[in-house]
Amino acid sequence: MRRTVVVLACVGAVVVLVVAAVVAVVITRSSTTSRDDARFQESIASFYESPDTPAAPGELIRIEPIDDLDVPGGTAYRMLYGTQRPDGSPAVSSGMLIVPTAPAPPGGRPVLAWSHGTLGFGDECTPSRRYHPTMDTLDFTNWLPSVMERGWVVAATDYTGLGTAGDTYYLIARSEAQDVLNSVRAARDHAPAQASSVYATFGHSQGGHAAIGTAMFADYAPELRSVGAAAAAPAALLGPLFSEQWNTFVAWGIGPSVAVSWPVVYPDLPLEGVLGDAAMSRYRSLADGCITDELPELLLERAEGEQFFDSDPMQNPDWAAAAADQAIDLSRVDVPLFVVQSLADTVVLPNTTALLARTACSAPSPESDVAWIGQVAHQDTAKVGGLVAVDWLQDRFDGVPAPNSCSHPSPIAPADPTG
């Protein structure tokens, strides 16, 4: 027994040392880039400043080309537009607008509203504020060129508070939906885009929650008409997801953003006694960084045996109620739904998507279709499944009846709906 303990202790020490070495290498390599990024952020900061007079929801405040983002068949812009917080107060959101270079059809271009996944709250994490953005870092690889060929406008919100002043509302469905819908309005407010009132949503991870959530709150913008919602690995059913991931590395990735955002909407939501000691001291600084930059540091926390949550937060009544409140409610969705999910996903677990699919098939909602793929990491699901989603959305824009996969057996048992 003593030999086993000694061996395990040595293995643990080696793991910590290896991760610490990775952290040191990454910090050394990124120092120059960080300085360049800081100068870039300073140079564009004025673009993201709120106007003295609040803008109307969906009003385009300012727009400029993103010169270093090469989009085949299109032109990318950063934009700032009016939106609203969950309580209805005025806010601003930034985002990207991507317009095909080919002439628009007589009725105007349909709009694809893209919503991104978890990135962190730092200004430099914001998609429209990225230093040297690429199709790959923005999750546009594979599907965006096809969208440009089809003649769709892409409106891609950054979400309220990400890249702009004020609170953030991570996984708060109403806030995400309002930001998405107002991004479509802003696209229409930019006359050269020639955007029509017809739109669809597509998002990944947190953005999948936003894409389907937008369908829940579609009546916020009654002048617009949605034809469908598509999502890649959507963080849709938050209770089961938290219950399965609370004691894993994933909690260090999403937990800080939740701990910062949710108390803004739920002021009585307890953090003491729910978050671990290490998380309590560092959740805000972690949330204010970028997930990709902090990955080595998060690995080190995990290697040292620290957990973000002390226990399953869904055992706390206030946390369980908040998660239920922000979960996707398919009874409020009245457009066709498409989901692409990898069976190898270790972040948004496939059994939670299987539960979403089962719920969709029993809900009084329109047709739903789930495409299961294998051996694809969570972060690549939108890239790999994007073309399938775009083909599905093309049929919705064309008025083709949506398919239904409810008669197909699920390749995995659904998660426990009670967590």
Per residue in 74-105, pLDDT tens? 999 999 999 999 999 999 999 999 999 999 99
pLDDT in the model for residue 366: 72
pLDDT in the model for residue 293: 78
Per residue in 249-261, pLDDT tens? 999 999 999 999 9
Provide the Cα torsion 401, 406, 408, 409; round to 10°: 160
What share of the chain has pLDDT > 90, as a percent?
84
Looking at per-residue confidence, does 184 or 32 come out higher?
184
Backbone CA torsion sign across 166, 185, 399, 139: negative
Whether pLDDT at 3 is above 60: no
Provide the Cα torsion 42, 279, 292, 9; round to 10°: 140
Q: How many residues does the chain have?
A: 419
> pTM score > 0.95 for this model?
no
14 pLDDT band, cuts 50/70/90, is very low
pLDDT in the model for residue 299: 61
**CA distance linking residue 230 with residue 158, whole number of Å:** 18
Contacts (Cβ under 8 Å, ≥6 apart) of 419: 239, 240, 242, 243, 244, 312, 314, 320
CB 168 within 8 A of CB 260: yes
CB 230 within 8 A of CB 202: yes
Whether pLDDT at 20 is above 50: no
Per residue in 37-82, pLDDT tens? 999 999 999 999 999 999 999 999 999 999 999 999 999 999 999 9
Provide the Cα torsion 346, 349, 351, 354; round to 10°: -130
Per residue in 197-256, pLDDT tens? 999 999 999 999 999 999 999 999 999 999 999 999 999 999 999 999 999 999 999 999
**CA distance linking residue 229 with residue 214, whole number of Å:** 8
Per residue in 177-206, pLDDT tens? 999 999 999 999 999 999 999 999 999 999
Per residue in 124-172, pLDDT tens? 999 999 999 999 889 998 999 999 999 999 999 999 999 999 999 999 9
**CA distance linking residue 335 with residue 200, whole number of Å:** 10
318 pLDDT band, cuts 50/70/90, is very high
Q: For 49-237+327-397, which CATH class?
A: alpha beta
Lowest mean pLDDT, pick from 136-140, 276-280, 411-415? 136-140
Looking at per-residue confidence, does 324 or 18 come out higher?
324
**CA distance linking residue 357 with residue 329, whole number of Å:** 12
- Every domain of the chain and the residues it spans: 49-237+327-397
HEC per residue, the chain: CHHHHHHHHHHHHHHHHHHHHHHHHHHHHHHHHHHHHHHHHHHHHHHHCCCCCCCCCCCEEEEEECCCCCECCEEEEEEEEEEECCCCCEEEEEEEEEEECCCCCCCCEEEEEEECCCCCCCHHHCHHHCCCCCCCCCCCCCHHHHHHHHCCEEEEECCCCCCCCCCCCCCCHHHHHHHHHHHHHHHHHCHHHCEEEEEEEEEECHHHHHHHHHHHCHHHCCCCEEEEEEEECCCCCHHHHHHHHCCCHHHHHHHHHHHHHHHHHCCCCCCECCECHHHHHHHHHHHCCCHHHHHHHHHHHHHCCCCCECCCHHHCHHHHHHHHHHCCCHHHCCCCEEEEEECCCCCCCHHHHHHHHHHHHHCCCCCEEEEEECCCCHHHHHHHHHHHHHHHHHHHHCCCCCCCCCCCCCCCCCCCCCC
296 pLDDT band, cuts 50/70/90, is low
Tokens 């990775």 sit on residue = 22
Looking at per-residue confidence, does 13 or 72 come out higher?
72
Contacts (Cβ under 8 Å, ≥6 apart) of 6: none
The mean pLDDT value for 370-375 works out to 95
Strand order across the 225-232 sheet: 60-65, 74-84, 90-100, 153-157, 109-115, 195-204, 225-232, 337-342, 368-373
**CA distance linking residue 108 with residue 279, whole number of Å:** 49
Cα distances (angstroms) measured from residue 193 to each of 56, 80, 128, 135, 187: 20, 15, 18, 20, 7
- Mean pLDDT score of the chain: 91
363 pLDDT band, cuts 50/70/90, is confident
**CA distance linking residue 83 with residue 81, whole number of Å:** 7
Per residue in 330-353, pLDDT tens? 999 999 999 999 999 999 999 999
